[in-house]
Structure 1
Amino acid sequence: MIKTILVPTDFTIGSEELLSCVGELKSVGLEKVILLHVVDIFQAQGLAPMFEENAKKMIEDYRQLMEEVEVDASTLVVEGDVKKTIARIADEENVDCIVMGATTSGLIKSRRTGRTTEYISRRSGKIILIEKYNIITENEEEMSRKACSARFSKVMLPVDFSENTKIILDEIKDFTDIIEQIIFVHVVEKAKNEKELKHKKNESMKLLSELGKELEDGIRISYVVTDGEASESIDRLAEEMDITLIVITTHGIGSFKDILLGSTAEKLLQRTKKPLLLIPFKDR
């Protein structure tokens, strides 16, 4: 269950909108939000104390926004390497989830922020909710607009029938009170011929149906089996079906501390315009 979330913010386009997910997460047990700003020591240099003081004033406005939706919120402003500090704070504060943002034009418009999002997705063992934004220009002024609203209304669960499948099902049960519809998806990536492809699709559909049975009470469940390259097929289906959130597991690498996204999750992170919920493949 997600009780505590960490929201790193750099006060750029979309930062305030990033907090809008809190309302939905309140319904599934959210108790505390930690708002974090990291003063980049590589950019601030001798001006770091001034940047830190300004950030403390700005982040207080965000804390007040959380008060308005009756969520307990605390703030942290620290100096350091942005991406490494976010990962460290997430561990030290023992948060359940990190909420970050990315634009739909590439991973994120700012390369520094883009590298941060990618680093956290790879290295952190936390659940990560990545919001996606469309950047539009109105009257020569850039504005952000969320790619999806009500992100838990139509959720896609790509599964590969590995150990990851059990992890993703266990996690999604915590969200059943706010999910309206779940689409289970399996992509057959390899088959020797049409006969084998048909057999694999039929068997996969049976397995998907079994997986969805325990979630059918109160939630609309659909099943899709297709073939092709996994990330491309998932992204295409997500667009065609107007999906509001893709939930996918990352892959652990044994005894190493780091987390590798795995090829499907990594390609989706780069490609899709849909929000992503990344669930790490390891015991937390």
Structure 2
Amino acid sequence: MFRRILFPTDFSDYARRVMDCIADLPGVMEVVMVHIVGTNKPASLRSDMVSSARTRIESEATLLKNLGIPSVRTEVMVLESPAAGIDDAANRNNSDIIVMGARGKSIIKGLRLGSVTQKVLHESKKNLLIMRGPIIETLSGEKFQKYCPLIFSRVLVPVDLTTESWIAVEQLAKIPDVQEIIAAFVISRGESEQEIERLKQQAGDELEKKCSQLPTRGAEIRWRILEGDLVTRINDYAQETDVSLVCTVPTEKGFFAEMLHGSFSCELARQATKPVLVIRRS
């Protein structure tokens, strides 16, 4: 599904760990590595910065090739907006997905989504994989090497009863490496116990029908009904069940209608402790 990856790097240790994980993602045939030198840097230093960046990015590209990626290309650009440059590079290179780290400067737990990653999430129309959580921040050695190839193995997908919210489930079901998909419906409001029970019954019937009719490449599809705040409950359940990935599709319908377009995905990514995959609608 994601054979061509666009990978922006700032050469940090965090970015290096994301790069190491990319090498173990299933089915990757091409990686385009991008580094952007901001126009806010002094003009007198930019030439040296670009030259240094080209040397470093070629060195890291060689490492990726040695790790088994068939095609690795590099770009170094001088731009005012890194997010716009990342999106442009992904479009020019016909990348299937952008893979980025989530590291931000905030020291407040739950707010660590970097500003560039957040802008790409808001502005790009490309699929986006945000790498975060123990897979990047704490795992090392053999555990790290084992986890990365399994990132698509057990996926949690928040859904409602609209067709749009099931796009992620349908796309994931086509990936051979996905072993389990959990479709989670969150009841975030109800005026009475009777109303909540009615919603549970309606949702359960629809979820059972959709899951049973969806063809897969071997993945088991299960459904769960949760109660509580949408973003908080999804992230808590991801921890409780130790899924490998949380996947969402930005939409203006269903339970996202009361929020700004895509804001659920952004809030989910901001608070998540697991990698987050954002699948764009065609």
Q: TM-score range by the shorter chain?
A: 0.7 to 0.9
The answer to whether the 8 A contact 1:103-1:134 is kept is: no
Q: Does 1:12 align with 2:5?
A: no
What one-letter code is carried by the residue in structure 2 that aligns with 1:43? K
Question: Could you give the per-residue CA deviations for residues 40-78 of structure 1, whole angstroms, max 9, x where no partner exists?
Answer: 111243211101111111111221122123321100011
State how far apart, in whole Å, the 2-side matches of 1:31 and 1:90 are. 15
Letter in 1 for 2:177: I
Query: What CA deviation, in whole Å up to 9, does each residue of 1:63-103 have, x standing for no partner?
Result: 11221233211000111121221122122222110000014
- The residue aligned with 1:139 is none
Unaligned 5+ runs, structure 1: 136-142, 254-259
Shift of 1:116: 0.5
Q: TM-score, normalised by structure 1?
A: 0.83
Question: What percent of counterpart residues are identical?
Answer: 26
1:146-186 CA-partner distances (Å, limit 9, x unpaired): 596431121101111223234213321332x1112211100
Are 2:211 and 2:221, in contact at CA under 8 Å, matched by a contact in 1? yes
Aligned to 1:195: 194
2:177 counterpart of 1:184? no
Amino acid at match of 1:62: E
Cα 1:67–1:245 shift into 2, 3 Å: same
What is the letter of the counterpart of residue 47 of structure 2? P
1:50 aligned residue: 48
Aligned to 2:257: none
Please report how far the alpha carbon of residue 252 of structure 1 lies from its aligned counterpart in structure 2 after TM superposition: 6.3
1:231-242 aligned within 5 A: 231-242=231-242
The verdict on how the C-alpha distance between 1:207 and 1:217 changes in structure 2, with shifts beyond 3 A counting, is farther
The alpha-carbon deviation at position 261 of structure 1 amounts to 5.1
Contact 2:110 2:272 in 1 (8 A): no
**1:208 corresponds to 2:216:** no
The 3-state SS of whatever aligns with 1:73 is strand
TM-aligned CA distance change 1:252 to 1:49, over 3 Å:
farther
Question: Compared with structure 1, are the counterparts of its residues 133 and 169 closer, same or farther at alpha carbon in structure 2 (3 Å cutoff)?
Answer: closer
AA at the equivalent of 1:80: L
The aligned counterpart of 2:262 is 262
1:92 corresponds in structure 2 to 92
Residue 132, structure 1, aligned to residue 132, structure 2 = yes
Checking the alignment, whether the CA contact within 8 Å between 1:90 and 1:98 is kept in structure 2 is: yes
Q: Which amino acid aligns with 2:185?
A: H
Equivalent residue, structure 1, for 2:29: 31
Q: Which moved more, 1:60-69 or 1:16-25?
A: 16-25
Query: What TM-score do you get using the length of structure 2 for normalisation?
Result: 0.84
Change (3 A) 1:107 1:86: farther
Larger strand proportion of the pair = 1
Alignment check: 8 A CA contact 2:14 2:103 kept = no
My pick for the range that moved more, 267-276 or 221-230, is 221-230
CA distance, structure 2, for counterparts of residue 68 and residue 208 of structure 1: 44
Count of residues in Structure 1 that have an aligned counterpart in Structure 2: 262
What is the CA deviation profile of residues 179-201 of structure 1, one whole-angstrom value per residue up to 9, with x for unaligned ones? 12211100012222111111111
Structure 1, residues 208-232: CA drift from partner, whole Å, max 9, x if none?
Answer: 2222222466323322101222111
Unaligned ranges ≥5, structure 2: 254-259
Note the alpha carbon deviations across 1:1-31, whole angstroms, 9 max, x for none: 323110000001221221234345443xx32
Q: Distance in 2 between matches of 1:120 and 1:66?
A: 24
Note the aligned Cα RMSD (angstroms).
Answer: 2.5
Moved more, 99-108 or 45-54: 99-108
Conserved 8 A contact 2:250-2:279 = yes
- Corresponding residue for residue 145 of structure 1: 138
1:220–1:185 distance in 2 versus 1, CA, 3 Å: same
